[in-house]
């Protein structure tokens, strides 16, 4: 049976965020991009995280902690970010295990379209 997607949507990873990670499709909305970025943390795809980060704020590299396991995502609110917008925000709560200890973080992220594709532009 295919593995469920990390992003929380009821679809197998390969059919959901996996297609974005493989470059077969691009996120149509800011929320979809945010979900795919969460999934990238889940599968350890640092290259995808860098590709979907706005160049003005993109770090030179990302070192993902192998002792952190991303387990659940809650989308709390989103504004704009649809197929007709050029900007959007997504507020979310990410649940993870750090060295086996349950943790969570909440973030209000900003997304913009760059050359027709959604990219992560930082936090609010």
Domain assignment present for residue 10? The answer is no
Domain assignment present for residue 2? The answer is no
Is the pLDDT reported for residue 83 higher than 90? yes
Say if CB 104 and CB 96 are below 8 A apart. Answer: yes
Domain assignment present for residue 95? The answer is yes
Say if CB 61 and CB 46 are below 8 A apart. Answer: yes
Domain assignment present for residue 4? The answer is no
- d(C-alpha 106, C-alpha 111), whole Å: 16
Reported as a pLDDT band with limits 50, 70 and 90, residue 2 is: low
What per-residue confidence (pLDDT) applies to 85? 97
What per-residue confidence (pLDDT) applies to 3? 76
Angle (CA) 74-40-95 rounded to 5° is 30
Query: The domain containing residue 62 runs over which residues?
Result: 18-123
Q: What is the percent of the chain with per-residue pLDDT over 70, rounded to a whole number?
A: 98
- Count: domains in the chain: 1
Say if CB 47 and CB 22 are below 8 A apart. Answer: no
- d(C-alpha 42, C-alpha 46), whole Å: 10
What per-residue confidence (pLDDT) applies to 4? 87
What strands lie across the sheet with 101-114, from one edge to the other? 68-80, 87-98, 101-114, 117-123
pLDDT averaged over the chain? 95
Domain assignment present for residue 75? The answer is yes
Domain assignment present for residue 64? The answer is yes
Is the pLDDT reported for residue 123 higher than 90? yes
Q: Which two tokens stand for residue 92?
A: 């979310």
- Report helix, strand or coil for 20: helix
CATH code: domain of residue 70: 3.10.450.50
pLDDT digits (tens, 9 = 90+) for 31-70: 999 999 999 999 999 999 999 999 999 999 999 998 999 9
């Amino acid at each position: 049976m295919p593995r469920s997607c990390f992003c929380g949507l009821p679809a197998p990873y390969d059919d959901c965020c996996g297609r974005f990670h493989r470059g077969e499709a691009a996120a149509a909305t800011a929320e979809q991009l945010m979900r795919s970025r969460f999934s990238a943390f889940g599968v350890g795809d640092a290259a995808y995280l860098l590709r979907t980060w706005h160049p003005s704020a993109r770090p030179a590299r990302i070192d993902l902690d192998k002792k952190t396991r991303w387990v659940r995502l809650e989308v709390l609110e989103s504004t704009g970010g649809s197929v007709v917008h050029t900007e959007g925000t997504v507020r979310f709560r990410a649940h993870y295990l750090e060295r086996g200890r349950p943790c969570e973080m909440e973030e209000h992220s900003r997304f913009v379209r760059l050359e027709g594709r959604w990219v992560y532009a930082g936090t609010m």
